[in-house]
Amino acid sequence: MELLKFAVIGLSVFAVGSSMAIAEEPVEFELTADYFGKYIWRGQNLSDDPVFQPGLSAGFGGLTAAIWGNMDTTNINGNSGDFSEVDYSFDYSSDLPGVDGVGYSVGLIYYDFPGTAVKDTTEAYWGLSFDLPFSPSVTVYHDLDEAEGSYVALGAGYSVEEIGELAAGVPVGLDIGASLGWGSGSYNDYYWGVDENKMQDLAVSVGFPVELGGWTVTTSLNYVALVSDDIRNTDAYGTNSDYFFAGVSLSKGF
């Protein structure tokens, strides 16, 4: 949807202009650059070789507009050095009125797959997060174009600000995250050929963030597995159903 692309760009321009007029509400930008040994999305092995994934977001109040891309670094998918996916999104997040310790998010994501045979699609999503131990959350994504089905992600996480120091005395933190995904029948049928409601994938990551020169540098170890035997047996994205891979992520806010 070209309209969504223009909406994201327009939101960014609006945010910049508004921040100039209202000094106490500046735009907050974040630049990210990630390198992973594989690209596994919701249990789907989209690239079995290393990928580079840059992103840029602009936030104003509770609104955030973002663009993110995946670049294949090898020719495994015939796209070496090219972007095989570019996502445009905007999100609104805030505290749930009248309920302490509960936040909510709503938004849209437009998935573009340049240079591939994959059809572009759009998802709407809404979710809740809870200020409780292990930061539980639940997010529902609904595909509006191609799959016309829903994917539900249950998430949890735990962070420690400092677990040790590097040789130069720089503190090292710890971030642990986990998610469990469920797909509706139409969603699973589109992506896996399984026309049934199924638990889909389990993802676990362990990261070690370090602050260096105004950047956050996070090395991570990641594990993703398909949890449904029916989905495992489809081999829709390769013969493996369990993936271990490492990554390095850079981020900077300004």
SS (H, E, C) the chain: CHHHHHHHHHHHHHHHHHHHHCCCCCCEEEEEEEEECCEEECCEEEECCCEEEEEEEEEECCEEEEEEEEEECCCCCCCCCCEEEEEEEEEEEEECCCCCCEEEEEEEEEEECCCCCCCCEEEEEEEEEECCCCCCEEEEEEECCCCCCEEEEEEEEEEEEEEEECCCCCEEEEEEEEEEEEECHHHHHHHHCCCCCEEEEEEEEEEEEEEECCEEEEEEEEEEEECCHHHHCCCECECCCEEEEEEEEEEEEC
pLDDT band at residue 3 under the 50/70/90 scheme: very low
Q: Is pLDDT of 138 > 50?
A: yes
pLDDT tens digits along 21-52: 444 678 999 999 999 999 999 999 999 999 99
Return the pLDDT at 81.
83
Segment 198-225 shows an average pLDDT of 97
Q: What mean pLDDT is predicted for residues 94-114?
A: 97
In this predicted structure, the answer to whether residue 216 has a pLDDT above a threshold of 60 is yes
Q: What is the mean pLDDT of the chain?
A: 91
pLDDT confidence of residue 79: 73
pLDDT at 13 over 90: no
Confidence at residue 104, expressed as pLDDT on a 0 to 100 scale: 98
pTM, two decimals, is 0.89
Using the Cα atoms of residue 180, residue 185, residue 188 and residue 191 in order, give the sign of their dihedral. Answer: negative
Class of the CATH-defined domain 2-253: mainly beta
Measured distance CA(31)–CA(11) in Å, rounded: 17
Given pLDDT bands bounded at 50, 70 and 90, which one contains residue 19? Answer: very low
Q: Which two tokens stand for residue 174?
A: 């710890």
Kindly tell me if the per-residue pLDDT of 11 is higher than 90.
no
Q: How far is CA 136 from the centre of its chain?
A: 16
What is the pLDDT averaged over residues 114-120?
A: 91
Model pLDDT for residues 48-87, shown as the tens digit of each residue: 999 999 999 999 999 999 999 999 999 877 777 889 999 9
Provide the pLDDT for residue 75.
85
Q: Is 43 left (phi over 0), alpha (psi -120 to 50) or beta?
A: left
pLDDT at 17 over 70: no
pLDDT score of 198 more than 60: yes
